[in-house]
Structure 1
Amino acid sequence: MTIVIIGPPAAGKTRIGRRVAHQLDLPFTDTDKQIAAAHGPIPTIFETQGEPAFREIERAEVVTALAGGGVVSVGGGAVLNRATQLDLDGCLVVLFTVSPDVVAARLGNSKRPLVPDIDAWRRVVDARRDLYASLADETFDTSHRKADDIADDVATWVRSQLAKERV
């Protein structure tokens, strides 16, 4: 079973995804963390190799993570790749959304190459909103609730989906 968490930067995909995996007793993979561990900091990859090279690296990490199953948190732009979109067909896809006012505080001293500030974040989210929604099986807003409560809701939803599959 693979649960994939998608959504914009700073939506809490890693923080909450780790908790969901723990509750479901599944492994957790964050593709951005895997990229950084294998290739160095993501901002450095963007600076030295450019976004196209980063997206190739990202695609390879997504393939590896999805093959491993469990709960997989993908970078905000990973879903731009058509092959990744097709790969998500066999997964439970959870979209995390978050309000701009909350993200402004989360970005702080962000080292996110595509969203260095809230205006850039808004542009990225506006461009991806429909794609995110089209890929998602369920959506959870992460703006104003505790991470543990959101993780509880996601885990409950996943269990309900698995129960439906068994019937």
Structure 2
Amino acid sequence: MTAGGLRPGAAHGPRPGDEAGTVPPIALIGPMAAGKTSLGRKLATRIGRTFADTDRLVVLEHGPIPQIFAEHGEPVFRRWEADAVQRALTPGAVVALGGGAVLDPGTQALLREQATVVLVTVDEEAAARRIGGGGRPLLADGIAAWRRIAREREPLYRELADTVLDTSRTPMARLVDQLQGWLEERGL
């Protein structure tokens, strides 16, 4: 289902049992700079759930991502990232996954079996504005690298997704409304 099919507006606040193991985690996946963390944090606050960002969990445990890539390489980062995803995907949580987290077969299985998966997309123009700050080792070549990586991962993102939201031009508050409405329609 696309963002256009989501119902905006809805009641606010947590529902009883959200954190008690009865509600699957909400996993936000998508390309770098799509806004998964911003959307996830705001959604979690709105619906009264815990929030985790898997990149942040890796950083807290192992240090800055550019340093991890430089000292240990991408394979070690991916292993630590998969561990962070596994720990974060708990019932009732809202979890923003790093752009490449879906490459891990174990993470794919967890997403398919245990989570409600939201694909957060962004167009190239908006991504170019957002990636300027650095700190993303895979984007040393800027938007050209982003474009290549996003294109490679797109089929996997789409396969795993239960719904899709594009953050390119829609205000974040409206996206949160739409996603909250979509979740409520499904009893999630």
Q: TM-score range by the shorter chain?
A: over 0.9
Amino acid across the alignment from 2:169: H
Aligned twin of 2:148: 123
Secondary structure of the 1:36 match is helix
Aligned to 1:73: 96
Shift of residue 149, structure 1, vs aligned partner: 1.1
**Alignment: residue pair count:** 163
Q: Does 1:139 align with 2:173?
A: no
- Aligned counterparts, 1:52-91, within 5 A: 52-67=75-90, 69-89=92-112, 90-91=114-115
- What residue in structure 2 maps to residue 105 of structure 1? 129
Gaps of 5+ in 2: 1-22
Q: Could you list the per-position Cα deviations for residues 15-66 of structure 1 after superposition, in whole angstroms to 9, with x for gaps in the alignment?
A: 1110111111100000001111111101110010000000110011001001
| Distance of 1:27 and 1:16 partners within structure 2 | 13
**Contact persistence 1:21–1:71 (CA under 8 A):** yes
Deviation, structure 1 residue 68: 5.7
Is the contact made by 1:3 and 1:71 (CA closer than 8 Å) also made in structure 2? yes
Deviation at 1:145, TM superposition (A): 1.1
Unaligned runs of 5+ in 1: none
Distance 1:86 1:144, change over 3 A: same
Distance between the aligned counterparts of 1:40 and 1:127, measured in 2?
27
Q: Percent identity?
A: 44
Q: Which residue of 2 aligns with 1:149?
A: 174
For the residues of structure 2 that align with 1:131 and 1:151, how far apart are their CA atoms?
Answer: 24
> Partner residue of 2:66?
43
TM-score by length of 2: 0.84
**Are the aligned partners of 1:115 and 1:124 in contact in 2 as well (CA < 8 Å)?**
no
Q: 1:13 matched to which residue of 2?
A: 36
TM-score (norm 1): 0.94
